[in-house]
């Protein structure tokens, strides 16, 4: 059963471990898959947004360039400009130019449109008054003249107004012929980046807390941020960070690394980014999103999966515990049932045996009774009649008188034997109640009742006082009578028996000593004499039945005590009886 329980436990534990293993490994694989997927998706999104923005910016640039190019090459432009330059006061010439200049400006696409003459003097300007017009334009014109095409400036910040603008300049050639014509004028278009370019950059195609696109350019050994940043106001053309920052995606792009970049952005926040260079410009573009935002759903998912896994583990643990408990309860019940059955069986057997024993005791008692009465009656008749014949006819009997005396003594001895056997049997079956017995009183009574224990035939003295003990009074009386009887009997011829009684306390025990001046006992006989019918002497030397000490031993042991003897042949014997002392509160 125990073995079964163990193998059941091992099986349960193995199943639990296997289930947990599968759950944990499965969960881990699932989560790392999800993580890889999430990461790939985020990188894809960044790339896609970067491409989209790149396309939008490029388109926007191309549109601006082609707008300008249209006017740069249009014949009517050259045809209108020439008269206007030649006759500055002609209203007609001026309004002809103004007409297409307005078309070019297209409401507020450009905040200023200027016509410059050969000396870079503005000759005509359409300008939103609030806005500053920049004077610096020589470099741009230079470039436009060299390429004989539209030149686009970088982003420029006006120091006084803070305006960030981007300029387009195109020369106008004689006969509108960019190949051979001499340049006669130039048109400058000024564009507010905050109005047109930055919104284009800043709009993110999907809702996001942290995503942004940004433009940067290299400025010496620094990265210059071109637009206003989502997470930092007023950064356009003013925020600079070292180009060699290893983790900054914007720096990475300018150092030539594009595509997917993971790094730490200008705020020190970990981001997933994609970088591109904008063709035809020195601009680097970065589309990025905080790693936190990307991984938050993933983390939520992880937490959910963890929770589910944990619950599954706990549930399977509980299940195992439950099974185990059920099993244990079953086993316990089985064991209890077994025990109850065994108990019932035991009780039944004890009952049976007790009944048998009672029967035997009853039989024994009946037998003892018949012995004491039926057997002793004829014995008494024999001894009585022998005594009568001896008394009346001793003279006539002559030598036969001695024979008859032998018959008489044998009958007496037989009677003594029967009485001793009866005493032993009584002691063996008698209930030994534990009463308090005053030893001293008992000893005195025994001495008083037996002349052979009294002067002048013997000297029996009590040394000190004898305490009370726990025992059975009648049995103890018998024991003392036997011990004292032996003490005065087994003495050498002509010696007056001297017996001393004294008591010794030993823990909760009292040892009563009976010391005589008799013949003593050989060492090898000291155990034997307590057995039934064991005698060391013949009937002629010392009378007796060999039952007295057996009675003492049996009685004392039944009272929970012990007996023993110390002796040396020729130097007397000291028999002892150890009994339970009376506890203080009992006395």
521 binds ligand ADP (CB under 6 A): yes
Considering only residues 527 to 546 of the shown chain, the ones binding ligand ADP according to CB under 6 A are 529, 534-537, 544-546
Length of the chain measured in residues:
587
Least distance from ligand ADP to the Cβ atom of residue 531, Å: 8
Q: Quick one: 192 or 516, whose CB is closer to ligand ADP?
A: 516
Instruction: Tell me which residues in 241-270 interact with ligand ADP (CB under 6 A).
Output: none
Choose between 258 and 573: whose C-beta lies nearer to ligand ADP. Answer: 573
Any contact of residue 516 with ligand ADP (CB under 6 A)?
yes
Token digits for 76? 């009517």
Q: Which two tokens stand for residue 294?
A: 């990307």
Q: In the numeric block, which tokens belong to residue 574? A: 């000291």
| Site membership for ligand ADP, residue 486 (CB under 6 A) | yes
Query: What stretch of H or E contains 333?
Result: helix 291-370
Of residues 450 and 535, the one with the C-beta less far from ligand ADP: 535
- Closer residue to ligand ADP, CB minimum distance, 185 or 529: 529
Distance CA(215)–CA(201), nearest Å, equals 8
Q: Rounded to 5, what percent of the chain is helix, strand, coil?
A: 55, 20, 25
Candidates 479, 516, 510, 472; CA nearest to 496 is 516
Considering only CA atoms, which of 343, 235, 249, 328 is closest in space to residue 288? 249
Is residue 376 part of the contact set for ligand ADP (CB under 6 A)?
A: no
Q: Is 447 in the site for ligand ADP (CB under 6 A)?
A: no
- Closer CB to ligand ADP, 235 or 567, in the complex: 567
For ligand ADP, the binding residue among 519, 556, 559, 577 (CB under 6 A) is 519
258 or 425: CB nearest ligand ADP: 425
Q: How far is the CB of 501 from ligand ADP (least distance, A)?
A: 13
DSSP 220: T
**Taking the alpha carbons of 378, 380, 386, 388 in that order, is the dihedral positive or negative?**
negative
457 contributes a contact to ligand ADP by CB under 6 A: no
Smallest distance, Å, CB 500 to ligand ADP?
12
The three-point CA angle 551-494-545 to 5° equals 20
CA dist 236 and 163 (Å) reads 10
Residue 504's H or E segment, with its range, is: strand 498-506
- The continuous run of DSSP H or E covering 53 comes out as helix 2-73
Q: How far is the CB of 453 from ligand ADP (least distance, A)?
A: 13
Residue 517 binds ligand ADP, judged by CB under 6 A: no
What number of chain residues touch ligand ADP (CB under 6 A)? 21
Question: Quick one: how far is CA 575 from the chain centroid?
Answer: 67
Report the C-alpha gap between 202 and 30 in whole angstroms. 36
Considering the complex, state which of residue 72 and residue 501 has its C-beta at the smaller distance from ligand ADP. Answer: 501
Alpha-carbon distance 551 to 534, whole Å?
12
CB of 418 to ligand ADP, least distance (A): 14
Instruction: Between 352 and 531, name the residue whose CB sits nearer to ligand ADP.
Output: 531
- Report how far residue 57's alpha carbon sits from residue 463's, in angstroms, rounded to the nearest whole number: 133
> Using an 8 Å Cβ cutoff, are 229 and 209 in contact?
no
Distance CA 308, CA 302 (A): 10
Q: Does 178 bind ligand ADP (CB under 6 A)?
A: no
Minimum CB–partner distance for residue 449 and ligand ADP (Å): 18
The two structure tokens encoding residue 134: 């920049």
Residue with smaller CB distance to ligand ADP, 47 or 482: 482
Q: What mask, x for binding ligand ADP by CB under 6 A, covers residues 184 to 213? A: ------------------------------
Q: Does 222 bind ligand ADP (CB under 6 A)?
A: no
Q: Is 556 in the site for ligand ADP (CB under 6 A)?
A: no
Under rule CB under 6 A, residue 559 binds ligand ADP: no
Provide DSSP, 169-209.
EEEEEGGG-TTTPPEEEEEEEEEEHHHHHHHHHH--SS--S
The answer to whether 45 contacts ligand ADP (rule: CB under 6 A) is: no
Sole binder of ligand ADP in the list 187, 443, 487, 512 (CB under 6 A): 487
Report the half-sphere exposure of 246 (CA within 13 A, side-chain side): 0
Contact residues for ligand ADP (CB under 6 A)? 482, 486-487, 490, 516, 518-519, 521, 529, 534-537, 544-550, 573
């Amino acid at each position: 059963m125990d073995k079964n329980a163990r193998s059941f436990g091992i099986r349960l534990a193995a199943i639990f471990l296997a289930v947990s293993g599968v759950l944990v490994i499965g969960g881990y694989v699932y989560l790392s898959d999800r993580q890889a997927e999430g990461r790939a998706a985020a990188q894809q999104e960044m790339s896609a947004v970067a491409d989209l923005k790149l396309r939008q910016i490029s388109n926007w640039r191309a549109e601006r360039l082609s707008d300008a190019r249209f006017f740069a090459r249009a014949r009517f432009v050259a045809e209108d400009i020439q008269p206007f330059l030649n006759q500055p006061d002609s209203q007609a010439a001026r309004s002809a130019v103004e007409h297409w200049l307005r078309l070019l400006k297209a409401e507020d696409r450009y905040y200023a449109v200027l016509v410059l003459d050969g000396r870079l003097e503005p000759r005509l300007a359409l300008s939103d008054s609030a806005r500053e017009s920049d004077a610096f334009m020589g470099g741009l014109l230079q470039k436009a003249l060299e390429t004989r095409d539209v030149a686009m400036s970088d982003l420029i910040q006006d120091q006084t107004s803070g305006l960030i603008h981007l300029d387009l300049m195109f020369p106008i050639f004689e006969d509108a012929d960019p190949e051979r014509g001499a340049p006669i004028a130039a048109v400058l278009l000024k564009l507010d980046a905050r109005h047109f370019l930055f919104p284009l950059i800043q709009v993110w195609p999907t809702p996001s807390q942290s995503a942004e696109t940004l433009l940067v350019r290299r400025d010496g050994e620094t990265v210059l941020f071109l637009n206003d940043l989502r997470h930092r106001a007023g950064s356009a053309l003013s925020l600079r960070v070292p180009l060699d920052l290893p983790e900054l995606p914007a720096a990475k792009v300018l150092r030539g690394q594009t595509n997917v970049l993971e790094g730490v952005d200008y705020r020190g926040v970990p981001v997933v980014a994609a970088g591109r260079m904008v063709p035809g410009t020195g601009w680097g573009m970065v589309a990025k999103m905080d790693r936190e935002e990307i991984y938050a759903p993933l983390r939520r998912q992880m937490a959910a999966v963890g929770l589910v896994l944990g619950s599954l583990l706990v549930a399977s643990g509980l299940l195992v515990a439950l099974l185990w408990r059920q099993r244990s309860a079953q086993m316990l019940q089985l064991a209890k049932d077994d025990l109850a059955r065994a108990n019932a069986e035991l009780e039944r057997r004890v009952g049976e045996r007790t009944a048998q024993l009672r029967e035997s005791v009853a039989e024994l008692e009946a037998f003892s009774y018949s012995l004491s009465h039926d057997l002793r009656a004829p014995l008494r008749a024999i001894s009585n009649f022998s005594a009568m014949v001896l008394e009346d006819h001793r003279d006539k009997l002559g030598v036969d008188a001695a024979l008859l005396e032998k018959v008489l003594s044998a009958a007496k001895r037989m009677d003594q034997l029967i009485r001793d056997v009866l005493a032993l049997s009584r002691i063996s079956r008698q209930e030994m109640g534990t009463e308090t017995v005053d030893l001293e009183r008992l000893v005195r009574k025994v001495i008083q009742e037996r002349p052979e224990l009294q002067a002048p035939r013997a000297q029996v003295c009590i040394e000190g006082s004898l305490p009370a003990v726990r025992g059975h009074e009648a049995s103890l009386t018998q024991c003392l009578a036997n011990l004292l009887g032996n003490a005065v009997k087994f003495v050498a011829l002509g010696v007056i028996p001297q017996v001393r009684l004294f008591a010794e306390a030993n823990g909760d025990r009292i040892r009563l000593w009976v010391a005589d001046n008799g013949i003593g006992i050989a060492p090898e006989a000291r155990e034997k004499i307590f057995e039934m019918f064991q005698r060391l002497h013949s009937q002629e030397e010392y009378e007796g039945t060999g039952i007295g000490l057996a009675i003492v031993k049996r009685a004392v042991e039944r009272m929970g005590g012990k007996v023993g003897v110390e002796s040396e042949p020729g130097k007397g014997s000291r028999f002892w009886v150890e009994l339970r002392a009376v506890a203080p509160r009992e006395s």
